Amino acid sequence: MRLVLLGTFIFLYAPIVTLVAFSFNDSRRNIVWRGFTFKYYEKAWNNSSLVESFANSLTIAFLSTLISVVLGTMTAILLWRFRFPGKAGYEGAMSLPIVIPEICMGVAMMAFFSRIGWPSGLPWPLNLGAITIAHISFSFPFVTVVVRARLASFNRELEEAAKDLGAGEWHAFKDILIPHMRPGLIAGALLAFTLSLDDFVITFFTSGPDTITFPIKIYSMIRFSVTPEVNAASAVLIAITLVMTTFALWFQSRSRGQSGGAAHG
C-alpha cells in the first residue's frame, strides 16, 4: 500500500519538481545539472512582454475575484434561504458553467464578443474587459458552491434572535451572516483567483493580440521552444498557485472544523 502511494506521488510530482529544479540550472540544455543560478529568473523578469502578461493576469484575476465573490455569495444566499418555483432548474443553470466543457464555453465567449461588437483597442485595463467577464462567468458558480457549504452550518436562530432584538434585514445580514460566512468567502475568493490566474482554454478564445495573459504567453513560448526561462516563469506561477490553494484549503477545512466543533459542543 505504501509503495502504491509512493509510486503515485512520484508519478504526480516528479515532472513538476524537475521543472522547478531545472529552472535553477545553469545550462541552456535542460538535461545536465551545471550548478545553481537565478539567471533565468532575471531573464524572465527582464522579458517585458512576459512581465506585462503577468500584470494583465493579476489584474484580471483581481477584478474577476471581486465580482465573482459578490455574485457567488448572492446566489449562495438565495439558494440557501429561499424556496421558489423552478428552483431545481435554476440550480441546474447555475452549475452549468462548472460542468460544460471548457472548449464549448471558450468558443461561446469568442462568438459572443465578436457578435456584440465588443470594442477592441481600448486603453488598459479596459481592454481586459472581455476576458474578465468570461472569467467571472465561470468563477462565480464555484464561489457559490463553497459559500453555500459554509452557510449550511449557520444557525438561523441567531438571525431570528437579532431580528427579535430589533435588527433589520440589512443589519442582520451585515453583523450576523457575513461574519459567519467569512471563512467561506475567503476560501471562495482564493478559489476564484486561482481559477482566473490558471485559466488557459477560455482565455485563449477571448484574448486578442494586445491582451495576452500569463498562461497564453507561456503557451506561445512553449510552442516556440523549451527553455529554462519558461521553466522559471512556470515556477513562479506554480509557487503563487500553491500558496493560494493551500490557504484556500486551510480556510475551508477551518470553516468545516468550526462547524464540526459546534455540533459536538
Grid cell 502511494 — which residue?
5
The 3-state DSSP class for residue 25 equals strand
Grid cell 483597442 — which residue?
121
CB of 46 to other proteins, least distance (A): 21
Distance CA 100, CA 28 (A): 41
User: Between residues 3 and 263, which has the closer beta carbon with respect to other proteins?
Assistant: 3
User: C-alpha grid cell for residue 158?
Assistant: 441567531
The 3-state DSSP class for residue 27 equals coil
Grid cell 468563477 — which residue?
139
CB of 18 to other proteins, least distance (A): 6
The answer to whether the beta carbons of residues 72 and 143 sit under 8 Å apart is: yes
User: C-alpha grid cell for residue 168?
Assistant: 433589520
The answer to whether the beta carbons of residues 187 and 242 sit under 8 Å apart is: no
Q: Both ends of the chain: CA-CA distance in Å? A: 36
CB of 67 to other proteins, least distance (A): 8
User: Between residues 194 and 211, which has the closer beta carbon with respect to other proteins?
Assistant: 194
CB of 237 to other proteins, least distance (A): 6
Helix axes 178-198, 228-264, angle to 10 degrees: 160
User: Between residues 100 and 262, which has the closer beta carbon with respect to other proteins?
Assistant: 100
The answer to whether the beta carbons of residues 76 and 143 sit under 8 Å apart is: yes
CB of 211 to other proteins, least distance (A): 16
CB of 136 to other proteins, least distance (A): 7
CB of 106 to other proteins, least distance (A): 8
The 3-state DSSP class for residue 265 equals coil
Cβ atoms within 10 Å of 200's Cβ, excluding its own = 14
